[in-house]
Amino acid sequence: MTPGSNDWPARVVVVGASAAGLAVVEAARGQGYRGELTLIGDEPHLPYDRPPLSKQLLTSDWSPERLLLRERAHLDELAVAMRLGQPASGLDADSREVVLADGDRVPYDALVVATGVRARRLPGSDGISGVHVLRTLGDALALRAELTPGRRLVVLGAGVLGAEAAAVAQGLGAEVTVIDPLAWPLARIVNREIGDWLADIHRERGVDLRLSSAPVTAIRTTAGRTEAVELADGTVLPADTVLVAIGATPAVQWLAGSPIVIGGREPATGSGGVLCDRRGQAAPGIYAAGDVAAWQDPATGEHRRYEHRLNATEQGRAVARALLDPDFTPPPSVPYFWSDQYDLKLQTFGTLDADDQFTVVDGSLHARRFIGVSHRDGLVRGALGVGMPRQLRAWRTAVADRAPWKETTPA
Partner 1 sequence: MKITVEADKCCAGGQCVLAAPEVFDQRDEDGIVVLLTGTPDSSQYDAVREAAQICPAACIHVTDN
* Contact residues: partner 1, CB under 8 A: 23, 26-27, 30, 49, 51, 66, 69-71, 309-310, 313-314, 317, 336, 338, 345, 347, 387-390, 392-393, 396
Kindly tell me which of 213 and 313 has the beta carbon lying closer to partner 1: 313
CA distance 36 to 12: 6
CB atoms closer than 10 angstroms to residue 204: 9
CA distance 24 to 126: 34
Kindly tell me which of 205 and 393 has the beta carbon lying closer to partner 1: 393
- Work out how close the CB of 340 gets to partner 1 at its nearest, in angstroms, rounded to a whole number: 8
- Work out how close the CB of 208 gets to partner 1 at its nearest, in angstroms, rounded to a whole number: 29
> What length does the chain have?
411
- Work out how close the CB of 200 gets to partner 1 at its nearest, in angstroms, rounded to a whole number: 23
Kindly tell me which of 66 and 192 has the beta carbon lying closer to partner 1: 66
- Work out how close the CB of 69 gets to partner 1 at its nearest, in angstroms, rounded to a whole number: 5
- Work out how close the CB of 33 gets to partner 1 at its nearest, in angstroms, rounded to a whole number: 15
Determine contact, residues 274/288, Cβ cutoff 8 Å: yes
Kindly tell me which of 28 and 262 has the beta carbon lying closer to partner 1: 28
Virtual CA dihedral for 353, 358, 361, 363, nearest 10 degrees? 90
Would you give the DSSP letter of residue 311?
A: H
Determine contact, residues 35/5, Cβ cutoff 8 Å: no
Kindly tell me which of 277 and 343 has the beta carbon lying closer to partner 1: 343
Nearest CA among 241, 208, 204, 188 for reference residue 351? 188
Kindly tell me which of 45 and 210 has the beta carbon lying closer to partner 1: 45
Between the alpha carbon of residue 225 and those of residues 125, 140, 141, 188, 221, the distances in Å are 10, 19, 18, 32, 5
- Work out how close the CB of 44 gets to partner 1 at its nearest, in angstroms, rounded to a whole number: 20
Mapped onto helix, strand or coil, the DSSP state of residue 256 is coil
User: Going by C-beta distance under 8 Å and a sequence separation of 6 or more, which residues neighbour residue 295?
Assistant: 276, 277, 278, 280, 288, 303, 304, 315
- Work out how close the CB of 283 gets to partner 1 at its nearest, in angstroms, rounded to a whole number: 26
CA distance 46 to 39: 10
Kindly tell me which of 12 and 207 has the beta carbon lying closer to partner 1: 12
